[in-house]
Amino acid sequence: MKNNRFLTNAGTFLLFGGPATIAFAAVILIPFVVGLYLTFTNWDVRTGDSTLIGLTNYVAVFQDKVFLTQLWFTMKYVFFTVLISNGFAFFIALALTSGLKGEKWLRTGFFTPNLIGGIVLGYLWQTLFSQVMPYLGREYGWSLFQTSWLTSTDTAFWALVIATAWQLTGYLMIIYIAGFTGVPSDVLEAASIDGAKRSVIIRRIILPLSIPALVICVFISLSRSFLTYDINLALTKGGPFNSTELASYHIVQKAFLSNQYGVGQAEAVVLFVVVAVIALSQSYLLKRLEVEA
């Protein structure tokens, strides 16, 4: 009887969970394990030859001053991207849950940039920053836009941040909207009757009760910003003078163009650990701020 029940449960799992499990193992688990193994080898991309070399690749990672500099630059980029995208998404979501006329169409419009691929998005913003904005700057005398933002090390950084935040904002907005709809309406009505200002209601009621949505949004924006590659490639290609080369971009260059796959894979593991520590830490800290309605 027990054997029949076990076989029935196993068959049910294989029927419904089997395809997803196989896909997860093939796309995530097996490549991760193989990649982790390759960090301990000097695998040659061209010939496929490899020998075990221990921790040599990890030593090379921490001796690579360029990678460490770009990792720090990536953290700076992630900080501003997360701050700007979440800030705009939060207030847009507030506006689009206040009974504004045509808010459904506006939600669709703000979400649309998230559907654009990173390469297309990068080339779109490259055209704006290098052609459209300089033309408008010269035409109307706007000194800030008279030259392409992509030719200066300072403005190229902000161009990268703006393009990424523009793509993320609509996606995060949807999550914030879902969080706001979970705030009890009777609590908001009671606060309004008591004479609380809109800013006080947002700070004291809506924000504390929307912490779960905030945790998810910060986690998603952190992980996606740290792993940015396609926008970096299409928009700046790491320039000017490699000043906007993010960690993911450097890892790909190291692994495939420099044929140092073991070192590049070790850098990817280090980046993964950094992202995991920061993302899990922020989740833990923000979850402590959760309150019950």
**Percent over 70 (pLDDT), the chain:** 96
| Residues in the chain where the model's pLDDT stays below 50 | 293
pLDDT of residue 3: 63
52 forms beta bridges with 41
Q: What span, in angstroms and rounded, lies between the C-alpha atoms of 251 and 229?
A: 10
pLDDT of residue 82: 95
| Amino acid present at 33 | V
Task: Tell me the CA end-to-end span of the chain in Å, nearest whole number.
Answer: 48
41 forms beta bridges with 52
What tokens does 148 get? 């392409």
| Amino acid present at 246 | L
pLDDT of residue 43: 82
pLDDT of residue 266: 92
pTM summary value: 0.88
Q: Give alpha helix (H) positions in 25-114.
A: 30-38, 56-63, 65-95, 103-111
Q: What span, in angstroms and rounded, lies between the C-alpha atoms of 281 and 155?
A: 31
If one looks up domain 64-287 in CATH, what number appears? 1.10.3720.10
pLDDT of residue 218: 92
**CB 239 within 8 Å of CB 156:** yes
pLDDT of residue 2: 55
